[in-house]
């Protein structure tokens, strides 16, 4: 039997408007494996690059029959991915700390190299 990934969907949260958030946990069990590798992506809402990378890596694992067990969570923070204010994705940025404004300020010192 050729090992394949199996998927378990875990419900996380339902909103007042009945939108639901859930994560898919993909498990790969190789009969000769003695070690387990955990991969996760999509931790911060607007950092999208890792999500397709984990999916592509899952294909490689199946194609090459790597002799490890794998637990993969390609999108571990669906609520962060969905965070928006007036249609603009905010992700993990905290809009109440004025951090963006602080980054724009000029320092009152000059770096001497």
Say which residues have a Cβ less than 8 Å from residue 71's Cβ, sequence separation at least 6.
25, 26, 27, 28, 36, 37, 38, 39
Query: Whole-model pTM?
Result: 0.71
**pLDDT higher than 90, residue 45:** no
pLDDT band at 97, cuts 50/70/90? Answer: very low
Give the C-alpha separation, 63 to 54, whole Å. Answer: 14
Q: Please indicate whether residue 12 or residue 105 has the higher confidence score (pLDDT).
A: 12
Q: Which of 2-6, 29-33, 80-84, 95-99 has the lowest mean pLDDT?
A: 95-99
How much is the mean pLDDT over the chain? Answer: 80
**pLDDT higher than 50, residue 102:** no
**pLDDT higher than 60, residue 107:** no
pLDDT at 99: 46
Structural domain boundaries in the chain: 5-95
User: What's the mean pLDDT in 27-45?
Assistant: 91
pLDDT tens for residues 79-94?
Answer: 877 776 666 666 555 5
């Amino acid at each position: 039997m050729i090992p394949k990934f199996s998927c378990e969907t875990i419900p996380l949260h339902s909103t007042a408007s009945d939108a639901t958030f859930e994560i898919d946990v993909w498990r790969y069990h190789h009969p000769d494996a003695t070690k387990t590798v955990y991969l996760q992506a999509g931790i911060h809402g607007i950092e999208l690059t890792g999500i397709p990378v984990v999916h592509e890596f899952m294909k490689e694992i199946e194609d090459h029959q790597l002799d490890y067990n794998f637990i993969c969570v390609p999108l571990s923070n669906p609520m962060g991915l969905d965070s928006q204010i007036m249609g603009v994705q905010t992700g993990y940025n905290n809009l109440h700390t004025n951090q963006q404004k602080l980054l724009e300020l000029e320092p009152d010192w000059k770096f001497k190299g």
